[in-house]
Amino acid sequence: MLNASSELKIRTGLDYASAAADRNGEVFDAQGLEGVLIITKFGTIAAGAVTDVRVQQGAAANLSDAADLEGTAITVADDDDNQIFIHDIVKPRERYVRGVVNKDGTNATAEMMIYIGYGPRVAPLTLTLADEVTYEKHISPAEGTA
């Protein structure tokens, strides 16, 4: 059974915002993990917008050497409002990865991104991260005041 508190690393990739320019996600450190899910949720997409979401990786901690991962560009149609796009990057070849929302520079789209690292080679992982992730575990909780 999956135990999220020791087997998942959850981080924000992009805070929700609307923009016409490309948006690079935060850098995610995948060291010691089997892989990472990059989940992008779009809000309203402008009519005629040309958008895709892709993944980059690199060896530099700031991804100054970022390179697109072959085949990861998923086209986002201008009628894909409120849809979720998921990349599952298994065994990335470089330590650092990020999601990228590639836009046409004219039409605004709104989106947010979450990273979920999984398959730790050494457990437990630290799930709670100050000012970003708060985690509580409840095993077979009784009904009552929340």
CATH number of the domain within which 98 lies: 2.60.120
- Share above pLDDT 90 across residues of the chain, in percent, rounded to a whole number: 79
Determine if the pTM surpasses 0.85: yes
Tell me the C-alpha distance between 36 and 90, whole Å: 7
94 pLDDT tier (thresholds 50, 70, 90): very high
Domain coverage including residue 89: 24-119
Q: Distances in Å between the alpha carbon of 46 and those of 3, 61, 78, 102? A: 39, 34, 6, 14
- The yes-or-no verdict on residue 36 having pLDDT over 90 is yes
Q: What is the pLDDT of residue 128?
A: 60
Contacts (Cβ under 8 Å, ≥6 apart) of 34: 90, 91, 118, 119, 120, 121
- The yes-or-no verdict on residue 48 having pLDDT over 90 is yes
Strand intervals (E) in the chain: 8-19, 23-24, 28-29, 33-45, 51-58, 67-68, 74-76, 84-90, 96-102, 109-120
Please report whether residue 14 resides in a domain: no
Highest mean pLDDT, choosing among 5-9, 94-98, 129-133: 94-98
**Furthest-apart CA pair in the chain: how many Å?**
52
Q: What is the pLDDT of residue 1?
A: 58
Structurally, how many domains does the chain consist of?
1
Q: Which amino acid is at 106?
A: T
